[in-house]
Amino acid sequence: MSSPLPPRPPARKGPNPFLLLGLVVVSSASFFILAEKRHNDQQTSGQARRREMANPLLPSRDAESVDLPPRRKVE
């Protein structure tokens, strides 16, 4: 008598595309709603937009000089 074959595992299925599409739509909608709310809150409070800091990696537009202490001699 032959031994019965073990049951085959079910075929692997990929992710549900509708679930992925739903996650993209929900995250995009929440981002835009929060961005719009923040924009409206700034306008109603009358605050000016925060001044952005200069990038420390780029040369300054104002060309101010930085005074560095004298270097020590290395012997």
**In the chain, which ranges are continuous DSSP H helix?**
17-45
pLDDT at 28: 98
The reply to whether 22 falls in a domain is: yes
pLDDT in tens, the chain (75 residues): 566 788 888 888 888 999 999 999 999 999 999 999 999 988 787 766 666 677 778 776 666 677 888 888 887
Q: What is the DSSP letter of 16?
A: -
HSE on the CB side for 3, CA within 13 Å? 3
Tokens for 29?
A: 């909608």
CB-CB contact of 56 with 62 (8 Å): no
pLDDT at 18: 97
The domain tally of the chain equals 1
The reply to whether 23 falls in a domain is: yes
**Structural domain boundaries, residue 32:** 17-42
The reply to whether 72 falls in a domain is: no
pLDDT at 30: 98
pLDDT at 48: 61
CB-CB contact of 26 with 19 (8 Å): no
